[in-house]
Amino acid sequence: MTEVRVTHVGGPTTLIEAAGWRLLTDPTFDPPGRRYAFGWGTSSRKTAGPALGSDQLGPVDAVLLTHDHHADNLDTAGRALLPSAGIVLTTVSGAGRLGGNARGLAPWATWRLESPGRPAIEVTATPARHGPPLSKPLVGDVTGFALRWAGQRHGVLWISGDTVLYAGVREVARRLAVGTALLHLGGVGFPITGPVRYTLTASRAVELCRILRPHTVLPVHYEGWSHFREGRRTVEARLAKAPDGLRDRFRWPAPGTATEVTV
């Protein structure tokens, strides 16, 4: 049985301590208050700061960056941290923009993290779509990540990335046994695009989890920005109506505090 420590820093940013490795997802460390443009008339204001500063993290072996072009997933302070990480795994287009220690993974490509004295971790890029069909020119490329290492009991640790529920995400359920799901929620929306949502809503998250059947679900990236349309209360209300004890699989990490998860 393997224990993993997941510390929710804020937004999509988590520190995953697994198998002797320290992995950081989507670094965001800017203070609150600033409004960031996302392109095509969309923008969002950061309303909450990180629970930990980047100077409190300690060494980072790898950054798992779902996408580099939205500030709620990589902000100014987070970008400054990237050169100090051992490697940055992200989308192919993102690696081209970032250069340096960034490496791009196409969907279902795998990168193997290896180091003497530690078990290897296989990082597999998984499909993600940050909005409705035909939205890619607006939202750009996004990826999720599946982490696999020796000793996992329940299945891979999967990071959804900013995505809606679509065929590519359903493929994750068909191809992988997911033990722990780090889900980006929030039902992102913008005034200019009306009812269109760009990340998982509560109802879609429940539908996805009924397909995945993960042992543990860790929700992240559902608050702290003005573009979120659904917070924790909405998700919990939907879970209260879900069958099969799904609600009991959800654990809400307290920002800044490590959550122990059996994988």
Domains annotated for the chain, with CATH where assigned, are 3-262 (3.60.15.10)
Structure tokens at 74: 């990589």
Q: Which of 34, 40, 35, 36 is nearest to 193 (CA)?
A: 40
Provide the pLDDT confidence category of residue 96 given band limits of 50, 70 and 90.
very high
Q: What is the pLDDT of residue 137?
A: 83
Report residue 144 CA to chain centroid gap: 7
**pLDDT of 18 higher than 90:** yes
125 and 95 Cβ atoms separated by less than 8 Å: no
Task: Please state, in angstroms and rounded to a whole number, the distance separating the CA atoms of residues 160 and 96.
Answer: 22
Q: Tell me the per-residue pLDDT of 181-217, one tens digit each, with 9 for 90 and over.
A: 999 999 999 998 899 999 999 999 999 999 999 999 9
Contacts of 18 (CB under 8 A, 6+ apart): 2, 4, 5, 121, 147, 149, 157, 263
Beta strands 110-115; 3-10: pairing state: unpaired
Phi, psi of 235 (to 5 degrees): -65, -45
Distance from the Cα of residue 160 to its chain's centroid: 5
DSSP code of 247? G
- What does the radius of gyration of the chain's CA atoms come to, in whole angstroms? 17
DSSP 8-state class, residue 153: S
Which amino acid is located at 147 in the chain? L
Query: Per residue in 58-79, pLDDT tens?
Result: 999 999 999 999 999 999 999 9
